[in-house]
Amino acid sequence: MSSERSFIMIKPDGVQRNLVSEIIGRFERRGYKLCGLKMVQPTRQLAESHYADLSERPFFGDLCTFLSSSPVVAMVWAGADVVKQGRTMIGATDPLKSAPGTIRGDLALVTGKNVIHGSDSCENAEKEIALWFKDGEVCNYEQVTAPWIYE
């Protein structure tokens, strides 16, 4: 068992397109543990903080406008290698370069509407969890199915 955590967010397009259960189901079925979940319409400031590393990129303004335009579903998922595996499940940034079977490869067509965010490192995951969730909003519990998922 692993306590590694990732911050996974269904972006505004994923919520508007009714893809919430489809996306959550993939993480559940893989065996990951849901530790935090909330729907929130991010302020512009929260969007800018979340994507601060991209602030010099030409698409930064449009990206933050998009992220704060409509509600998102913010989540914490935990389990073995969840950061890297989560990124693999999500696919490439450009959905047209994402393999079929990945979330973006199955559910999206363009980079600016690629339905989901996933942390790219354990360090960034913890930073993003702290940015999006308050103390007490993330649950730490034993998953009763763990012995049937892990050896």
The annotation places the binding site at: 11, 59, 87, 93, 104, 114
Specify binding-site residues for ATP: 11, 59, 87, 93, 104, 114
DSSP category for residue 110: B
Q: Which is nearer to ligand UDP, 111 or 143 (CB)?
A: 111
Site string for Mg ion, 98-127 (x = CB under 5 A): ----------------------x-------
Q: Which does 93 bind (CB under 5 to 8 A by kind): ligand UDP, Mg ion, none?
A: ligand UDP
H helices present in 31-145, as ranges: 44-50, 60-67, 82-90, 103-107, 122-132
Q: Which residues of the chain form contacts with ligand UDP (CB under 6 A)?
A: 54, 59, 63, 93, 111-112, 114, 117, 120
Shortest spacing between CB 53 and Mg ion, in angstroms: 8
Catalytic annotation present for 50: no
Instruction: Report yes or no: 29 and 134 within 8 Å, Cβ to Cβ.
Output: no
Three-state DSSP at 6 gives: strand
Find the residue with minimal CB distance to ligand UDP: 93
Residue 39 touches which member of ligand UDP, Mg ion, none, C-beta under 5-8 Å by kind: none
- What are 100's two structure tokens? 């079929």
Q: Contact, 149 vs 27, CB < 8 A?
A: no
Token pair belonging to 56? 């010099």
Q: Which of 82, 117, 119, 138 is flagged as catalytic?
A: 117
Residue 75 pairs with which residues in a beta bridge? 8, 37
User: Where are the extended beta strands (E) located within the chain?
Assistant: 5-10, 33-40, 72-78, 116-118
What is the nearest approach in angstroms of ligand UDP to the Cβ of residue 149? 26
Q: Which residues are identified as catalytic?
A: 117
Positions that interact with Mg ion (CB under 5 A): 120
